[in-house]
Amino acid sequence: MDTEADLFYRQIPKVELHAHLNGSVSFATMEKLIARKPHLNIESSGTAIRSGQRRTLAECFEVFKVIHQLVDSEEDILMVAKSVIEEFAADGVKYLELRSTPREEAKTGLSKRRYIETVLEAIHQCKQEGVDIDVRFLVAVDRRNGPEVAMETVKLTEDFMLSSDGVVVGLDLSGDPTVGHGKDLLPALQRARNSGLKLALHMSEVPSQKEESELLLDLPPDRIGHGTFLHPEAGGSDSLVDKISKLNIPLELCLTSNVKGQTVPSYDKHHFQYWYERQHPCVLCTDDKGVFCTDLSQEYQLTASTFGLSQEAVWSLSLQAIHCSFAPEALKQKLVQRWAELRPHILH
Ligand SMILES: CNc1ncnc2c1ncn2[C@@H]1O[C@H](COP(=O)(O)O)[C@@H](O)[C@H]1O
Ligand SMILES: [Zn+2]
């Protein structure tokens, strides 16, 4: 993996709010999975997009299909989830919101309920083992699977919200943005919102989703993933920007993901600049650290070097992310305290 971030970026405490479990599997874990399943004939070069390489977004979704073949049992899911959590912790992430899509039973041999329980078990084991990170879970709806599956997932997530000791906090909407329409999913998302689940929705990751984004904003979501094409200069609109600004909905921004997936032409053209200049809450995230060969330290460093941010500004970004999280107030306060204690050792 390309982990060249300077010590400063590794040392600063960080919050990761946008990480898809199966997209976050590291090269090392992938090699283990491949060794377990030689009959699949998968090469590790097919599960990651390395430095300097680009893919279309459509090709990225092909990569997920390969990874899903490799992660298809309870044992795999547990192993992958534990490794991903440990890797984020090793990178200085103190609070992580992980998200993952419970797949059809036919694909994994386990029910969607069991899928979620397995991820929760991994979170629990990491806590027991003293891994220095607080983890929460967002259950993901893959837009490709349509309204019925979305509703089923919402109901399941409601159950877990009540029974998981506060670990399941919300719902994610993701999947290939070129497939399906958000309007069909509104009843499920509305229900999730009414029942107290937080909503983190991928929005306008590709062009020409203005109408869908307008509809989704009426829910409204608690956070927006990517939002690449929301602002007028990218083909979005003033009305979208106004709504998002008025509601102060944080954006989860994933620079490497967007550049390698070619929805943004280069780092310096990333919409981070647009929103950051407006002083809108922006949270740097990895999206899929395994697939895009990155980590959160590297995302912070890239953003700082591309947009000329001072160490002070970088620190503020990571601190602000606490307030954009779905953590309960007491945990947010604990994290703020932690940041304050660490600050004199890191910022000089
Ligand atoms: C690159 N931009 C992206 N846009 C939209 N959805 C994405 C994504 N990256 C990942 N996913 C979603 O996360 C799944 C893999 O993790 P899980 O199996 O759920 O843990 C993908 O299948 C897709 O639905
Ligand atoms: Zn994403």
- What structural domains does the chain harbor? 15-345 (3.20.20.140)
Q: Please tell me the number of the ligand nearest to residue 137's CA.
A: 1
Q: Are 180 and 170 in contact (CB under 8 A)?
A: no
CA distance 174 to 113: 19
Residue that the structure tokens 């998968």 belong to: 42
Instruction: Determine whether 87 is an active site residue.
Output: no
Q: Is the CB of 119 under 6 A from ligand 1?
A: no
Taking the C-alpha atoms of residue 172 and residue 114, their distance in angstroms, rounded to an integer, is 18
Q: What angle do CA 220, 266, 320 make, to 5 degrees?
A: 45
The Cα 286–Cα 247 span in angstroms is 24
| Closest atom of ligand 1 to CA, residue 71 | 18
CA distance 236 to 230: 4
What pLDDT, on a 0 to 100 scale, did the predictor assign at position 4? 52
Mutational test site, ligand 1, from 171, 174, 178, 256, max ligand atoms within 8 Å of CB: 174
Residue 280 confidence (pLDDT) = 98
- Separation between Cα atoms, residue 273 and residue 277, nearest integer Å: 6
- Cα(18) to centroid(ligand 2), Å: 6
321 contacts 13 by C-beta, under 8 angstroms:
no
Tokens of 251: 């954006």
Mutate which of 64, 66, 78, 172 to test ligand 1's pocket (most atoms within 8 Å of Cβ)?
64
CA distances from 107 to 223, 246, 278, 304 (A): 30, 42, 44, 41
Q: Against a cut of 0.90, is the pTM above it? A: yes
CA of 134 to the centre of ligand 2 (A): 20
- Say yes or no: CB of residue 205 within 6 Å of ligand 1: yes
Ligand nearest to the CA of 100: 1
Is 115 touching ligand 1 by the criterion CB < 6 Å?
A: no
- Measured by CA distance, the residue closest to atom 11 of ligand 1 is 175
pLDDT of 5: 63
Residue 262: per-residue pLDDT: 95
Instruction: Say what the pLDDT of residue 330 is.
Output: 98
Q: How far is CA 231 from CA 134, 208, 210, 285, in A?
A: 33, 12, 10, 20
Task: Give the number of C-alpha atoms closer than 13 A to the C-alpha of residue 252, restricted to the C-beta side.
Answer: 30
Which entry of 205, 212, 252, 299 is annotated as an active-site residue? 205
pLDDT at 1: 39
Asked whether 97 and 16 are in contact (CB, 8 A), the reply is yes
| Nearest ligand (C-alpha, residue 57) | 1
Q: Please, which residues have CB within 8 angstroms of residue 124's CB and are 6 or more apart in sequence?
A: none
**Tokens 């890239």 -> residue:** 302
**Rounded Cα–Cα distance for residues 319 and 240 (Å):** 26
Q: 152 and 109 in contact (C-beta within 8 Å)?
A: no
Kindly give the number of the ligand 1 atom that is closest to the alpha carbon of 205: 4
225 lines ligand 1 (CB under 6 A): no
Nearest bound ligand to the CA of residue 72? 1
174 lines ligand 1 (CB under 6 A): yes
Sequence-distant (≥ 6) Cβ neighbours of residue 138 within 8 angstroms = 97, 98, 99, 168, 169, 170, 171, 172, 198, 200, 326
Hey, CA dihedral for 1, 261, 300, 269, is it positive or negative? positive
- Report the b/e string of 96-117 with b at 16+ CB within 10 A: bbbbbbbbeeeebebebeebbb
Q: How far apart are the C-alpha atoms of 91 and 3, rounded to whole Å?
A: 10
Dihedral angle of Cα 21, 134, 87, 17, to the nearest 10 degrees: 50
CA distance 32 to 16: 25
Output the CA 341–ligand 2 centroid distance in Å: 31
- List the chain residues with pLDDT less than 50: 1-3
24 CB within 6 A, ligand 1: no
